[in-house]
Amino acid sequence: MSNNLSFWHLVLNADIVVQLIILILIVGSVWSWAIMIQRYHVIKSARLEAKSFVKEFWSSGNISKVYQQLQHNKQKAQGMSYLFSCGFREFMRLRKQSALHGDIVLEGVERSMRVAMMQESQKLEHQISLLGTIGSIAPYVGLLGTVWGIMASFTALSGVEQATLSMVAPHIAEALIATALGLFVAIPAVVGYNRYSRAVDAMLLEYENFQDELCTLLYREAYKPGISEAL
Protein backbone atom coordinates (compact mmCIF):
# COMPACT_ATOMS: atom_id res chain seq x y z
CA MET A 1 0.00 0.00 0.00
CA SER A 2 1.34 3.43 -0.94
CA ASN A 3 1.81 6.20 1.54
CA ASN A 4 -1.12 8.06 -0.05
CA LEU A 5 -3.44 5.23 1.00
CA SER A 6 -2.03 4.67 4.48
CA PHE A 7 -4.56 4.87 7.30
CA TRP A 8 -3.19 7.96 9.01
CA HIS A 9 -2.61 9.78 5.74
CA LEU A 10 -6.23 9.17 4.75
CA VAL A 11 -7.53 10.33 8.11
CA LEU A 12 -5.40 13.47 8.20
CA ASN A 13 -6.43 14.41 4.66
CA ALA A 14 -10.11 13.61 5.05
CA ASP A 15 -12.85 16.23 5.07
CA ILE A 16 -13.16 18.13 8.37
CA VAL A 17 -16.65 16.72 8.97
CA VAL A 18 -15.40 13.17 8.41
CA GLN A 19 -12.52 13.82 10.81
CA LEU A 20 -15.00 15.06 13.43
CA ILE A 21 -17.14 11.93 12.99
CA ILE A 22 -14.04 9.72 13.30
CA LEU A 23 -13.13 11.55 16.52
CA ILE A 24 -16.66 10.97 17.88
CA LEU A 25 -16.40 7.26 17.07
CA ILE A 26 -13.00 6.98 18.77
CA VAL A 27 -14.42 8.64 21.89
CA GLY A 28 -17.39 6.26 21.74
CA SER A 29 -15.07 3.27 21.50
CA VAL A 30 -12.97 4.37 24.49
CA TRP A 31 -16.13 5.09 26.47
CA SER A 32 -17.70 1.72 25.71
CA TRP A 33 -14.54 -0.18 26.66
CA ALA A 34 -14.29 1.80 29.91
CA ILE A 35 -17.90 0.85 30.73
CA MET A 36 -17.27 -2.82 29.95
CA ILE A 37 -14.16 -2.99 32.11
CA GLN A 38 -15.90 -1.22 34.99
CA ARG A 39 -19.03 -3.42 34.74
CA TYR A 40 -16.83 -6.53 34.68
CA HIS A 41 -15.34 -5.65 38.06
CA VAL A 42 -18.71 -4.62 39.56
CA ILE A 43 -20.50 -7.81 38.51
CA LYS A 44 -17.56 -10.01 39.49
CA SER A 45 -17.50 -8.37 42.93
CA ALA A 46 -21.27 -8.90 43.29
CA ARG A 47 -20.92 -12.60 42.43
CA LEU A 48 -18.13 -13.14 44.95
CA GLU A 49 -20.04 -11.23 47.65
CA ALA A 50 -23.22 -13.24 47.04
CA LYS A 51 -21.36 -16.55 47.10
CA SER A 52 -19.53 -15.65 50.32
CA PHE A 53 -22.65 -14.34 52.08
CA VAL A 54 -24.86 -17.30 51.15
CA LYS A 55 -22.23 -19.70 52.44
CA GLU A 56 -21.97 -17.78 55.72
CA PHE A 57 -25.73 -17.38 56.04
CA TRP A 58 -26.64 -21.05 55.67
CA SER A 59 -23.71 -22.33 57.71
CA SER A 60 -24.42 -19.99 60.62
CA GLY A 61 -27.81 -21.36 61.66
CA ASN A 62 -28.52 -18.09 63.47
CA ILE A 63 -29.98 -15.19 61.50
CA SER A 64 -29.64 -12.74 64.39
CA LYS A 65 -25.94 -13.53 64.67
CA VAL A 66 -25.40 -12.96 60.95
CA TYR A 67 -27.19 -9.62 61.20
CA GLN A 68 -25.14 -8.55 64.21
CA GLN A 69 -21.92 -9.40 62.40
CA LEU A 70 -22.99 -7.25 59.47
CA GLN A 71 -23.83 -4.39 61.82
CA HIS A 72 -20.39 -4.56 63.44
CA ASN A 73 -18.65 -4.81 60.09
CA LYS A 74 -16.90 -1.54 59.24
CA GLN A 75 -17.61 -2.02 55.54
CA LYS A 76 -21.07 -1.06 54.31
CA ALA A 77 -23.27 -4.01 53.39
CA GLN A 78 -23.83 -4.39 49.67
CA GLY A 79 -25.40 -6.84 47.30
CA MET A 80 -27.06 -9.81 48.93
CA SER A 81 -25.93 -8.86 52.43
CA TYR A 82 -27.57 -5.46 51.93
CA LEU A 83 -30.86 -7.12 50.94
CA PHE A 84 -30.69 -9.27 54.06
CA SER A 85 -29.85 -6.32 56.32
CA CYS A 86 -32.76 -4.24 55.03
CA GLY A 87 -35.23 -7.11 55.30
CA PHE A 88 -34.19 -8.34 58.73
CA ARG A 89 -33.94 -4.81 60.15
CA GLU A 90 -37.52 -4.14 59.07
CA PHE A 91 -38.60 -7.52 60.46
CA MET A 92 -37.19 -6.74 63.89
CA ARG A 93 -38.67 -3.26 63.90
CA LEU A 94 -42.17 -4.48 63.07
CA ARG A 95 -41.91 -7.62 65.19
CA LYS A 96 -41.47 -5.50 68.32
CA GLN A 97 -44.94 -4.10 67.73
CA SER A 98 -46.91 -7.00 69.15
CA ALA A 99 -50.22 -5.61 67.87
CA LEU A 100 -49.20 -6.20 64.26
CA HIS A 101 -50.34 -9.36 62.51
CA GLY A 102 -47.72 -11.68 61.00
CA ASP A 103 -48.85 -10.97 57.44
CA ILE A 104 -48.40 -7.25 58.00
CA VAL A 105 -44.88 -7.86 59.28
CA LEU A 106 -44.03 -9.92 56.19
CA GLU A 107 -45.50 -7.30 53.87
CA GLY A 108 -43.24 -4.70 55.46
CA VAL A 109 -40.21 -6.98 55.07
CA GLU A 110 -40.99 -7.68 51.41
CA ARG A 111 -41.54 -3.98 50.73
CA SER A 112 -38.20 -3.09 52.33
CA MET A 113 -36.38 -5.77 50.35
CA ARG A 114 -37.99 -4.67 47.10
CA VAL A 115 -36.62 -1.17 47.64
CA ALA A 116 -33.18 -2.64 48.39
CA MET A 117 -33.46 -4.82 45.28
CA MET A 118 -34.17 -1.78 43.12
CA GLN A 119 -31.13 -0.01 44.55
CA GLU A 120 -28.86 -2.96 43.87
CA SER A 121 -30.36 -3.39 40.41
CA GLN A 122 -29.53 0.21 39.56
CA LYS A 123 -25.95 -0.30 40.71
CA LEU A 124 -25.53 -3.40 38.57
CA GLU A 125 -27.24 -1.97 35.49
CA HIS A 126 -25.50 1.41 35.63
CA GLN A 127 -24.49 2.54 32.10
CA ILE A 128 -25.13 -0.88 30.54
CA SER A 129 -27.95 0.63 28.47
CA LEU A 130 -25.39 3.14 27.17
CA LEU A 131 -23.48 0.23 25.63
CA GLY A 132 -26.59 -0.71 23.69
CA THR A 133 -27.02 2.88 22.56
CA ILE A 134 -23.42 3.14 21.36
CA GLY A 135 -23.70 -0.21 19.60
CA SER A 136 -26.92 0.87 17.87
CA ILE A 137 -25.89 4.31 16.62
CA ALA A 138 -22.17 3.81 15.86
CA PRO A 139 -22.73 2.16 12.43
CA TYR A 140 -25.08 4.98 11.39
CA VAL A 141 -22.64 7.63 12.57
CA GLY A 142 -19.93 5.91 10.54
CA LEU A 143 -22.25 5.69 7.53
CA LEU A 144 -22.99 9.40 7.84
CA GLY A 145 -19.27 10.09 7.70
CA THR A 146 -18.94 7.91 4.61
CA VAL A 147 -21.83 9.57 2.79
CA TRP A 148 -20.56 13.02 3.67
CA GLY A 149 -17.02 12.14 2.58
CA ILE A 150 -18.17 10.75 -0.77
CA MET A 151 -20.34 13.80 -1.41
CA ALA A 152 -17.45 16.11 -0.58
CA SER A 153 -15.10 14.08 -2.79
CA PHE A 154 -17.35 14.20 -5.86
CA THR A 155 -18.02 17.89 -5.27
CA ALA A 156 -14.29 18.54 -5.26
CA LEU A 157 -13.90 16.53 -8.49
CA SER A 158 -16.78 18.24 -10.23
CA GLY A 159 -14.44 20.79 -11.79
CA VAL A 160 -12.15 18.12 -13.24
CA GLU A 161 -12.80 17.31 -16.88
CA GLN A 162 -11.68 13.68 -16.62
CA ALA A 163 -11.58 11.90 -13.25
CA THR A 164 -9.53 8.71 -13.12
CA LEU A 165 -9.68 5.89 -10.59
CA SER A 166 -6.38 7.02 -9.07
CA MET A 167 -7.92 10.41 -8.40
CA VAL A 168 -11.14 9.05 -6.88
CA ALA A 169 -9.76 6.10 -4.88
CA PRO A 170 -8.07 8.08 -2.04
CA HIS A 171 -11.21 10.13 -1.44
CA ILE A 172 -13.45 7.05 -1.39
CA ALA A 173 -11.03 5.31 0.97
CA GLU A 174 -11.11 8.33 3.31
CA ALA A 175 -14.88 8.15 3.45
CA LEU A 176 -15.05 4.37 3.96
CA ILE A 177 -12.80 4.61 7.02
CA ALA A 178 -15.75 6.11 8.91
CA THR A 179 -17.97 3.10 8.14
CA ALA A 180 -15.24 0.64 9.13
CA LEU A 181 -14.60 2.53 12.36
CA GLY A 182 -18.34 2.61 13.10
CA LEU A 183 -18.48 -1.18 12.90
CA PHE A 184 -15.31 -1.45 14.97
CA VAL A 185 -17.02 0.57 17.72
CA ALA A 186 -20.44 -1.09 17.44
CA ILE A 187 -19.53 -4.78 17.50
CA PRO A 188 -17.75 -4.85 20.92
CA ALA A 189 -20.40 -2.56 22.41
CA VAL A 190 -23.27 -4.83 21.32
CA VAL A 191 -21.45 -7.95 22.52
CA GLY A 192 -20.72 -6.26 25.86
CA TYR A 193 -24.32 -5.09 26.22
CA ASN A 194 -25.72 -8.59 25.63
CA ARG A 195 -23.18 -10.26 27.90
CA TYR A 196 -23.55 -7.91 30.84
CA SER A 197 -27.33 -7.71 30.52
CA ARG A 198 -27.47 -11.50 30.91
CA ALA A 199 -25.02 -11.36 33.81
CA VAL A 200 -27.11 -8.73 35.61
CA ASP A 201 -30.30 -10.75 35.04
CA ALA A 202 -28.60 -13.80 36.53
CA MET A 203 -27.49 -11.82 39.60
CA LEU A 204 -30.95 -10.36 40.13
CA LEU A 205 -32.43 -13.85 39.88
CA GLU A 206 -30.06 -14.98 42.64
CA TYR A 207 -31.17 -12.04 44.76
CA GLU A 208 -34.83 -12.85 44.17
CA ASN A 209 -34.32 -16.50 45.11
CA PHE A 210 -32.56 -15.50 48.32
CA GLN A 211 -35.31 -13.01 49.09
CA ASP A 212 -37.95 -15.75 48.73
CA GLU A 213 -35.96 -18.10 50.97
CA LEU A 214 -35.46 -15.44 53.62
CA CYS A 215 -39.14 -14.51 53.58
CA THR A 216 -40.01 -18.18 54.04
CA LEU A 217 -37.81 -18.33 57.15
CA LEU A 218 -39.18 -15.08 58.53
CA TYR A 219 -42.75 -16.14 57.82
CA ARG A 220 -42.49 -18.85 60.46
CA GLU A 221 -40.93 -16.41 62.91
CA ALA A 222 -43.60 -13.78 62.30
CA TYR A 223 -46.20 -15.96 64.07
CA LYS A 224 -44.06 -16.67 67.11
CA PRO A 225 -44.39 -14.58 70.29
CA GLY A 226 -40.82 -13.26 70.03
CA ILE A 227 -37.84 -13.20 67.76
CA SER A 228 -36.10 -16.54 67.68
CA GLU A 229 -32.48 -16.68 68.67
CA ALA A 230 -31.73 -19.47 66.22
CA LEU A 231 -33.51 -20.50 63.04
User: pLDDT per residue over 112-160, tens digit each?
Assistant: 999 999 999 999 999 999 999 999 999 999 999 888 888 877 776 666 6
Helices (H), 61-127: 63-72, 80-95, 102-125
- Please give the model's pTM, rounded to 2 decimal places: 0.80
Cα 164 to its chain centre, rounded Å, is: 50
Local confidence pLDDT in tens for the 231 residues of the chain = 444 556 666 777 777 888 898 899 999 999 999 999 999 999 999 999 999 999 988 888 788 888 888 888 766 788 899 999 999 888 888 877 766 666 777 888 889 999 999 999 999 999 999 999 999 999 999 999 888 888 877 776 666 666 666 666 667 777 788 899 999 999 999 999 999 999 999 999 999 999 988 888 888 776 665 444 444
Q: Rounded to an integer, what distance in angstroms lies between the CA atom of residue 150 and that of residue 164?
A: 15
Burial zone of 129 (CB within 10 Å; 0-12 exposed, 13-18 middle, 19+ buried): exposed
CA 207 to chain centre: 17
**Residue whose C-alpha is closest to residue 170's, from 184, 149, 155, 144:** 149
Mind listing the pLDDT tens digit for each residue in 25-35? 999 999 999 99
